[in-house]
């Protein structure tokens, strides 16, 4: 899988636009009328205030405390960047806050404290306790992080969790459970070597000891070698707790005969010789970031039997904290926990390990472009797994209830699981899945309109995101000037600029097109002019001849005109079965509308074809299709000639015996709202439709643009389906990000 490249300009632009920072606060109650304001503030707010003062437990009922976590840092150990201070750490803490929201629907606010004094830090956090349901400490240097966490745990009655320590430890433990399962070893018999005695390393070894690893079998090393009993140099009380009686002095000595290596240290700390000296079926967790202590390739070159995990997403078995902290807090918050204890962390690790041993859902396989199954290259679930949200928090909550830290135990665990399933935004996981599939496909993407700065930014982003090679149709000097104007001058060397002057295939292209068009009123000169001068035609010719894998166009010209030009080269018309499907993403829902591109006024047979094409697009996106043929009438009322074809189209599908749900004709509210569907008990949809087949292209255009302007829906499309090549046509109002989304669709061959 290609590595992603992020440039400084892109990173700054991402944080600057559309507004500075990464999140905002939104009201969850109406705030429009005077009455609303009276209820939200004075005098209405006095009632819950008095209720909470009388019974503090009701704070969880009347405020957001129960779903609010503070991400707190003083910036003394920011990522791998060192002590950047409180202000310098704010972008990271904002990022952590949005990860909480994205993965577990936990509201989170970042707080940066301008002090390196543990007493002052603890005092500040303790005094903020009433506001939050939990505290996530982040990027605080060792050993202060141990002092701070320990004190806050003792002084506060809500969970306090230092993710750099325990987040890594939990995922590491989950992976180790499965690695030992594969190698048939027991944790109490294993010789474990840890390199790196900072926050994460010590937390890892402590958690493994609480899971049964024996103290004398665990050798901890730091930059000065083995931490042995009697060592005085570079020691502190947290290291001393893991000192053992041993004659071993170096990491190299310790690795001989070891079953497990855990690295939270530095690139290259482990040599192939050290790996060769380990026991049979060695387990190597090389978690240094961004580069591991030893790469999987280097380890496997000397030991084919090694099970290797890293902190990197471009290798199998990624130890990724995002598998842990969102779900740990979700489970802890939902029982109004007083703490996150070892039992809850172990329950999280065991639930993750169990999930990796189960059959992997199709959408995860699609995202990775290969069949994942439990084994040496898959011992930890992937962050794409949609089951994480409803499998991990219940295990954490149950452990919290069993150990007496729950203020409000969950009675109906099955009901709790169901509520978690509906809690997450499915659109986010669909988009992430498409991104991963595009990265696996490594398509050479042809961007036809290299004269447009938006297209150029999308092309650069496509390549730097690791999706594949960007081929831009344009003039070199023009592309260079426009990239420089956009602050992306260094990208000129990365992308490939293609045009009629620098290709050696112009004659081949002309011959091909002349054969196609000579009986349609085009002479050889017309054809040559089209091939050499029109970038849409030239790009289509490149695609037709395999000189690129997919094509994105349409940002600079109306889609009907672009389709007409492409049709000179590739069959992409109504007669050939082409259909346009637009995806609308709004408030966690995804609805496809068809046909939004090709058919002006389809008849019932066309509508049935459109439904089948749209169902194919839905499945490509990981959705189970439910089609509604929509109109202004529902099942024959009011009577109208114009609605007749919407009534007949489902009958055409009846005759075809298709394998997806469909129904019609019906109004949009009946299609999308299950309560409205209840009025028609005979109708065949088992839930809200996710595909709306509309009567004509004008109604499709009105609906999508209305949703975009009034509801601020994300619009992806129209996605061109039913064409032999992967082509996507953007709309002229597309942003660089919209064009990139269309390129991702094209790379995944959606449609």
**Does 82 carry a binding-site annotation?**
yes
Q: Which residues pair with 719 in a beta bridge?
A: 581
Active-site residue, selected from the candidate residues 96, 153, 191, 345: 96
**Does 81 carry a binding-site annotation?**
yes
Closest CA to 554 of 702, 443, 448, 472: 448
**Does 137 carry a binding-site annotation?**
no
* CA atoms lying within 13 Å on the CB side of residue 164: 28
331/326 Cα distance (integer angstroms): 9
Residue 208, C-beta contacts closer than 8 angstroms, at least 6 positions apart: 169, 173, 176, 187, 192, 218
**Does 85 carry a binding-site annotation?**
yes
**Does 198 carry a binding-site annotation?**
no
- Other Cβ atoms less than 10 A from the Cβ of 48: the count is 14
What backbone torsions phi and psi does residue 582 show, to the nearest 5 degrees? -110, 135
Using a 10 angstrom Cβ sphere, with 0-12 exposed, 13-18 middle and 19 or more buried, the burial of residue 651 is exposed
Sheet of 260-263: strand order equals 225-226, 218-222, 192-195, 260-263, 283-286, 307-310
Q: How far apart are the first and last CA of the chain?
A: 24
**Does 83 carry a binding-site annotation?**
yes
**Does 690 carry a binding-site annotation?**
no
Residue 96 catalytic? yes
Which residue in this structure is represented by tokens 């669909």?
430
Closest CA to 102 of 713, 588, 742: 588
750/443 Cα distance (integer angstroms): 13
**Does 289 carry a binding-site annotation?**
yes
3-state secondary structure of 321: helix
What backbone torsions phi and psi does residue 218 show, to the nearest 5 degrees? -105, 115
Sheet of 589-594: strand order equals 661-666, 626-630, 691-693, 589-594, 579-586, 714-721
- Residues forming the annotated binding site for a divalent metal cation? 138-139, 164, 289
- Residues forming the annotated binding site? 78-85, 138-139, 164, 289
So which residues are the catalytic ones? 96
- Residues forming the annotated binding site for NADP(+)? 78-85
């Amino acid at each position: 899988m290609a590595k992603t490249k992020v440039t400084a300009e892109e990173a700054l632009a991402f944080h600057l636009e559309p507004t500075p920072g990464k999140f905002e606060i939104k009201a969850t109650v109406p705030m429009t009328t005077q009455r609303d304001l009276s209820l939200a503030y004075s005098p209405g707010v006095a009632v819950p205030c008095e209720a909470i003062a009388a019974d503090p437990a009701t704070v969880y009922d009347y405020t957001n405390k129960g779903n609010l976590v503070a991400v707190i840092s003083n910036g003394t150990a920011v990522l791998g960047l060192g002590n950047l201070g409180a202000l310098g750490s704010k972008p990271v803490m904002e990022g952590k806050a949005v990860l909480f929201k994205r993965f577990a629907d936990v509201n989170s606010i970042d707080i940066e404290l301008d002090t390196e004094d543990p007493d002052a830090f603890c005092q500040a956090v303790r005094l903020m306790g009433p506001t939050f349901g939990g505290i996530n400490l982040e990027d605080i240097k060792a050993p202060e992080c141990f002092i701070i966490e320990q004190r806050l745990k003792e002084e506060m009655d809500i969970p306090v969790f230092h993710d750099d320590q325990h987040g890594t430890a939990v995922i590491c433990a989950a992976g180790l459970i499965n690695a030992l399962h594969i190698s048939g070893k027991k944790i109490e018999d294993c010789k474990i070597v840890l390199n790196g005695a900072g926050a994460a390393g010590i937390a890892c070894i402590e958690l493994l000891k609480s899971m049964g690893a024996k103290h004398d079998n665990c050798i901890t090393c730091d930059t000065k070698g083995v931490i042995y009993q009697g060592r005085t140099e570079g020691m502190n009380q947290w290291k001393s707790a893991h000192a053992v009686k041993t004659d071993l002095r170096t990491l190299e000595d310790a690795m001989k005969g070891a079953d497990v290596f855990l690295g939270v240290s530095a690139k290259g700390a482990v040599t192939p010789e050290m790996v060769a000296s380990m026991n049979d079926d060695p387990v190597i967790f090389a978690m240094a970031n961004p580069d591991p202590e030893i790469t999987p390739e280097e380890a496997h070159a000397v030991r084919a039997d090694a099970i290797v995990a890293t902190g990197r997403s471009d290798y199998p078995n990624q130890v990724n904290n995002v598998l842990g902290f969102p779900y740990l807090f979700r489970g802890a918050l939902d029982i109004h926990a007083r703490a996150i204890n070892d039992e809850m962390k172990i329950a999280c690790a065991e639930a993750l390990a169990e999930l990796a041993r189960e059959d992997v859902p199709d959408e995860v396989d699609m995202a990775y472009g290969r069949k994942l199954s439990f084994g040496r290259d898959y011992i930890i679930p992937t962050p794409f797994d949609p089951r994480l949200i409803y499998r991990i928090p219940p295990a954490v909550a149950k452990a919290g209830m069993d150990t007496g830290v729950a203020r409000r135990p969950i009675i109906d665990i099955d009901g709790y699981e169901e509520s978690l399933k509906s809690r997450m935004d499915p659109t986010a996981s669909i988009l992430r899945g498409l991104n991963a599939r595009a990265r696996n496909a490594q398509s050479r993407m042809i961007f036809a309109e290299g004269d447009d700065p938006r297209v150029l930014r999308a092309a650069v982003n496509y390549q730097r995101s690791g999706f594949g090679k960007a081929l831009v149709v344009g003039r070199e000097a023009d592309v260079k000037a426009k990239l420089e104007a956009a602050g992306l001058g260094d990208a000129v060397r990365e992308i490939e600029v293609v045009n009629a002057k620098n290709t050696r295939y112009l004659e081949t292209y002309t011959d091909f097109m002349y054969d196609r068009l000579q009986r349609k009123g085009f002479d050889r000169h017309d054809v040559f002019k089209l091939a050499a001068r029109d970038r849409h035609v030239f790009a289509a010719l490149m695609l037709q001849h395999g000189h690129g894998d997919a094509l994105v166009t349409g940002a600079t010209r109306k889609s009907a005109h672009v389709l007409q030009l492409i049709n000179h080269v590739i069959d992409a018309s109504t007669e050939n079965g082409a259909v346009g499907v637009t995806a609308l993403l709004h408030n966690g829902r995804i609805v496809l509308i068809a046909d939004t591109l090709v058919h002006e006024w389809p008849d019932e047979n066309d509508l049935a074809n459109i439904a089948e094409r749209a169902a194919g697009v839905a499945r490509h996106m990981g959705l189970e299709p439910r089609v509604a043929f929509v109109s202004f009438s529902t099942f024959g009322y009011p009577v109208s000639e114009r609605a007749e074809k919407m009534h007949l189209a489902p009958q055409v599908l009846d005759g075809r015996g298709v394998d997806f749900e469909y129904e019609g004709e019906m109004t949009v509210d009946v299609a999308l709202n299950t309560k409205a569907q209840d009025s028609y008990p005979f109708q065949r949809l088992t839930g809200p439709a996710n595909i709306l087949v509309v009567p004509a292209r004008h109604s499709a255009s009105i609906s999508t643009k209305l949703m975009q302007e009034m509801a601020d829906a994300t619009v992806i499309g129209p996605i061109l389906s039913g064409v032999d090549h992967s082509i996507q046509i953007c709309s002229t109002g597309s942003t660089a990000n919209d064009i990139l989304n269309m390129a991702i669709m094209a790379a995944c061959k959606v449609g």
